[in-house]
């Protein structure tokens, strides 16, 4: 008799997933929905799926409670596939792993901006408090202002924040793009409670295992899955995770609205996402540790009068350089106990320094985005007109620290000689 291909999966019930380490859940959290003998997950490309052959087993779409799909009770049942704009086997595996890693039900989208847009459509606030951060999110808010008059107020202006009312949104990006500096989520949760607002968090720059915004009261956590969840610069994705105690009320509506917004991720992207999440902890831990070593080296060299770093670099910005990083009892150390993230920025002595530095480097690709296994550097003015034109953003990959350090050193030396 042939072995049951689900025997192995049956040994890992959903209730057990939470007892495993993050690394183990990255590999096994979707075992219970694997219906194939393949060790590596297959990619399902169909857009439509056959209904049950037995008429007695037919359940109309409108009678399916999709919000239960992520629960332990539902884990033993076959998902009900209808049409890939609603969900597909491949993207559902991606969501299942993310749900385990994020500790909350996760919904995937075609891009990070699609996820942010879906979040704003769902919460439908009249006012949003937002700081700097990713310019694309500000673009979405500008569109919503055109459509319905949505007001945007400055997150870090107390007077502006006080204008928020019940049902409005406090949106915190932490660490902040492009600087890699962190913001105090516990403080903004307190302000949200005082004002009757929702707290939403863009945690793209600090995925698991670096930060868990739900521990600090976030209602919805979003990620540009293109970055660390994808991890290889080859897929677009966005993710929303809903605070578990709100999931029963919110999740079904988010899924219904995704269906009509049409912002579901594709099958190839879902497959790439599953592949990538297997190594999430390995990659992010290595990237964050290397970034920290580089920031420490840059800061130390900058303090040496006459060094090439001191001659070229005006400022290094990263969460580890914030005053709270030195205090073991600070909000920052509590919020990011396992590292301060793989992205930092350098403000150079002039725009010409920032424009020309990337061309002097061998291991850093001059490109936008972040989170991939390869290190990137970007003269940020190339893609974001709002930033200081002396700024370069650095995203650290998985290369060796010494190699990246030496590449930066020779690049800064070459730049100094060129711009004497």
Residues 304 and 227 both lie in one domain: no
208: domain CATH number is 3.40.640.10
Supply 91's token pair. Answer: 């993207």
Backbone angles phi, psi at 169, to 5 degrees: -120, 130
pTM of the model: 0.93
318: domain CATH number is 3.90.1150.10
* Cα separation, 315 vs 178, whole angstroms: 14
Q: Is 155 part of a structural domain of the chain?
A: yes
Q: Locate tokens 């009261």: which residue?
A: 217
Q: Is 77 part of a structural domain of the chain?
A: yes
Q: Is 3 part of a structural domain of the chain?
A: no
* Residues 6+ away with beta carbon under 8 Å from 147: none
Backbone angles phi, psi at 75, to 5 degrees: -65, -25
Q: Is 2 part of a structural domain of the chain?
A: no
Residues 31 and 86 both lie in one domain: yes
Among 379, 297, 378, 396, residue whose Cα is nearest residue 342 = 396
Is residue 348 classed as helix, strand or coil in its secondary structure?
A: strand
Q: Which of 278, 303, 322 delimits the end of a domain?
A: 278
Residues 166 and 311 both lie in one domain: no
Q: Are 321 and 299 in contact (CB under 8 A)?
A: yes
Angle separating helix axes 244-261 and 112-123, nearest 10 degrees: 110
How buried is 52 (Cβ within 10 angstroms: 0-12 exposed, 13-18 middle, 19+ buried)? exposed
Residues 346 and 365 both lie in one domain: yes
Q: Residue 345's domain spans which residues?
A: 280-418
Q: Reply yes or no on whether the pLDDT at 3 is more than 50.
A: no
Among 340, 291, 347, residue whose Cα is nearest residue 317 = 347
Number of domains in the chain: 2
pLDDT tens digits, 185-227: 999 999 999 999 999 999 999 999 999 999 999 999 999 999 9
Q: Is 146 part of a structural domain of the chain?
A: yes
DSSP class of 63: G
Supply 150's token pair. Answer: 């949505």
pLDDT tens digits, 242-298: 999 999 999 999 999 999 999 999 999 999 999 999 999 999 999 999 999 999 999
Residues 182 and 259 both lie in one domain: yes
Q: Is 98 part of a structural domain of the chain?
A: yes
């Amino acid at each position: 008799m042939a072995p049951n291909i689900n025997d192995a999966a049956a040994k890992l019930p959903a209730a057990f997933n939470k007892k495993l380490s993050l690394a183990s859940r990255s590999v096994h959290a979707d075992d219970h929905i694997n219906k194939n003998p393949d060790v590596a997950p297959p990619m399902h490309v169909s857009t439509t799926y056959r209904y049950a052959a037995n008429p007695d087993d037919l359940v109309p779409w409108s009678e399916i409670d999709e919000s239960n799909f992520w629960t332990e009770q539902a884990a033993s049942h076959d998902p009900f596939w209808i049409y890939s704009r609603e969900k597909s086997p491949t993207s559902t595996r991606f969501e299942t792993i993310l749900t385990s890693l994020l500790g909350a039900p996760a919904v995937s989208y075609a891009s990070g901006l699609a996820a942010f847009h879906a979040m704003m459509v769902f919460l439908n606030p009249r006012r949003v408090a937002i700081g700097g951060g990713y310019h694309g999110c500000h673009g979405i808010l500008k569109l919503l202002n055109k459509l319905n008059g949505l007001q945007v107020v400055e997150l870090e202006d107390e007077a502006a924040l006080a204008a928020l009312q019940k049902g409005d949104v406090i949106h915190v990006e932490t660490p902040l793009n492009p600087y890699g500096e962190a913001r105090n989520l516990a403080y903004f949760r307190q302000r949200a409670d005082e004002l009757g607002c929702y707290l939403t968090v863009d945690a793209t720059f600090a995925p698991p295992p670096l930060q868990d915004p739900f521990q600090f009261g976030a209602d919805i956590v979003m990620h540009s899955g293109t970055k660390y969840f994808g991890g290889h610069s080859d897929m677009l994705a966005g993710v929303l995770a809903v605070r578990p105690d709100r999931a029963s009320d919110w999740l079904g509506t988010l899924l219904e609205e995704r269906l009509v917004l049409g912002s579901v991720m594709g099958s190839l992207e879902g497959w790439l996402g599953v592949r990538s999440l297997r190594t999430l902890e390995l990659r992010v831990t290595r990237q964050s540790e290397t970034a920290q070593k580089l920031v420490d080296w840059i800061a130390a060299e900058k303090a040496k009068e006459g060094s090439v770093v001191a001659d070229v670099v005006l400022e290094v910005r990263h969460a580890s350089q914030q005053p709270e990083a030195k205090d073991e009892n600070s909000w920052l150390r509590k919020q990011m106990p396992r590292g301060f993230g793989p992205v930092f920025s350098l403000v150079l002595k002039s725009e010409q320094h920032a424009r020309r530095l990337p061309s002097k480097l061998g291991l850093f690709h001059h490109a936008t985005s972040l989170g991939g296994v390869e290190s990137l550097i970007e003269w940020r003015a190339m893609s974001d007109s709002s930033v200081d034109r002396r700024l370069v953003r650095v995203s650290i990959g998985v290369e060796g620290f010494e190699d990246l350090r030496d590449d930066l050193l020779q690049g800064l030396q070459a730049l100094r000689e060129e711009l004497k």
